[in-house]
Amino acid sequence: MAKYDNNLIVIGGGSAGLIVALIAATVRARVTLIEQGAMGGDCLNTGCVPSKTLIRSAKIAHYQATAQRYGVRSVAPEVDFRSVMGRVHEVIATIEPKDSMDRYSELGVNCVVGSARLIDRHHVAVGDERLSARSIVLATGAEPVVPPIPGLADADPLTSDNLWGLQTLPGRLLVLGGGPIGCELAQAFGRLGSAVTLIDMASALMPREDADVAAFIEQTMRGERIDVRTGHRAVRVVPSSGGAGVLHAESESGEVEIGFDRVLVAVGRRANTAGLGLEELGIATGPDGALCVDAYLRTAVSNIYGCGDVVGPYQFTHMASHQAWYAAVNALFGRFRRFKVDYSVVPWVTFTDPEVAHAGLSEAAAAERGIRVDVTRYELGDLDRALADGSAQGWVKVLTRPGSDRILGVSIVGAHAGELIAEYVLAMTHGIGLKKILGTIHVYPTLAEANKLAAGAWRRAHAPERLLRWVGRLHEILR
Ligand SMILES: Cc1cc2nc3c(=O)[nH]c(=O)nc-3n(C[C@H](O)[C@H](O)[C@H](O)COP(=O)(O)OP(=O)(O)OC[C@H]3O[C@@H](n4cnc5c(N)ncnc54)[C@H](O)[C@@H]3O)c2cc1C
């Protein structure tokens, strides 16, 4: 049997690659991790961590501006944008050691700095260095797409990659793209004081969500004076100086012009596969640029695997770690046993305010696939804690199999929806039905009670009528 320097080489030290390397080192495999940029990848440096930190500052500003609702005098927030961005970088720096080369080296991972390229199915080049391994995992992530709109590239567009170096709050910010990243950042910048216009060519924001969710978030944005323009297709940009310019967009009512001081592009993310040497090895990518893999995350070359954003289709940190487990285990132990990735319960959260959380089947997906479902909706306007907090906007929507309490999908819109969904994710993953959620003590008064009250709403709508009629008669007799 041929021998190699490593059991495993991992290319990319983001959320996916770090977990693959960690698992490999934990099971005493010899593993080399190659990273060309900052360890921690997008999540730590340009994605989840900076965006959630910025959103927090924006929320504090929003509290100040709306304090009167709570009987406390509202004040116009004085935002020190440099400090806001300073805090973003402080938080990154605080988390950084967890993902650092020092830590991973201590854990037993051989860390290499540089840009990696596949030479053949067992060899990787990093500069002049050549490394070999029995298996290789590609975890090279994705990057923001800047569409080829004439003039856009000359307007020094902001993306999630370069946004975090911004030192001055844009007076007028144009956000292109109404997906999760566009919506989160549009709301945050609006709350920090930018006049934000959010445009999308689709007829609704947040395409992965049900229509009621998208409409609610759009209404919330408009309520915060964000100029939301759905059904607008950007056709060209006329740049002026310093990143400013005018966007020309087509809409049903003709061509419109939108002036901006900075433009933020958030129209999607493309897998990083260029320059890896995939073509030479016959490893295919799909029309969206993502690496083609099978259910075991194997590429066309059976000892080369992929995971995380480079594979998709769910570009989330938690999905990167989920896939990383399968990639690591299949790459190291696949000759004995292989595991298919389980996508049956995929949760995600958009961190707008209110948050939008989702897991499993949506109403739209159920209708599209002809799956019959019962829909139970519990309004947060009924929840004591939400009323006390002044956050009674939103709902819990649960999709169940008709005639059963088995949960097929959940959407939650509301404060801390991202925390609330965890109970349903656990229930769905382990086959726990609504009756068991109803039979679980939930602390009063908490937002989490909404989950139990939604289960209660399901119970009332599915009460055993015949049995109740019979019991009613029994009580008449016993009176
Ligand atoms: C603004 C924003 C907000 C987000 N918010 C959330 C959120 O709230 N929750 C959530 O779950 N997800 C969020 N995401 C998505 C999340 O950041 C990604 O899903 C996650 O980072 C993907 O991890 P990954 O390891 O696949 O890729 P990455 O983190 O991109 O890591 C890939 C790494 O590979 C390296 N690399 C690439 N090519 C090579 C090469 N040839 N040689 C060596 N190294 C290479 C890159 O430098 C990079 O460090 C957000 C993303 C953005 C942009």
Q: What spacing in Å lies between the alpha carbon of 11 and ligand 1's midpoint?
A: 13
Residue ID of nearest Cα to ligand 1 atom 17: 43
| Alpha-helix residue ranges (DSSP H) falling in 142-287 | 180-192, 211-223, 278-281
Distance in angstroms (rounded) separating the CA atoms of residues 154 and 256: 20
pLDDT tens, position by position, 224-262: 999 999 999 999 999 999 999 999 999 998 999 999 999
**Half-sphere exposure in the Cβ direction for 275 (13 Å, CA):** 10
427 lines ligand 1 (CB under 6 A): no
1: confidence class by pLDDT, cuts 50, 70, 90: confident
The pLDDT value recorded for residue 421 is: 98
48 lines ligand 1 (CB under 6 A): yes
Q: Taking residues 196-223, report their average pLDDT.
A: 96
14 lines ligand 1 (CB under 6 A): yes
116 lines ligand 1 (CB under 6 A): yes
Strands 195-199 and 172-176, bridge-based pairing: parallel
Q: Taking residues 388-401, report their average pLDDT.
A: 97
Nearest to 416 by CA among 370, 459, 447: 447
39 lines ligand 1 (CB under 6 A): no
Q: What spacing in Å lies between the alpha carbon of 49 and ligand 1's midpoint?
A: 11
pTM over 0.85: yes
Look at the chain and count its residues: 479
Residue ID of nearest Cα to ligand 1 atom 2: 47
Q: What spacing in Å lies between the alpha carbon of 394 and ligand 1's midpoint?
A: 30
- The share of the chain scoring above pLDDT 90, in percent, equals 97
pLDDT tens, position by position, 417-465: 999 999 999 999 999 999 999 999 999 999 999 999 999 999 999 988 8
100 lines ligand 1 (CB under 6 A): no
pLDDT tens, position by position, 263-291: 999 999 999 999 999 999 999 999 888 99
Q: What spacing in Å lies between the alpha carbon of 320 and ligand 1's midpoint?
A: 9
φ, ψ dihedrals at 412, nearest 5°: -125, 130
The pLDDT value recorded for residue 288 is: 84
Q: Taking residues 128-154, report their average pLDDT.
A: 97
Q: What spacing in Å lies between the alpha carbon of 161 and ligand 1's midpoint?
A: 10
pLDDT tens, position by position, 7-42: 999 999 999 999 999 999 999 999 999 999 999 999
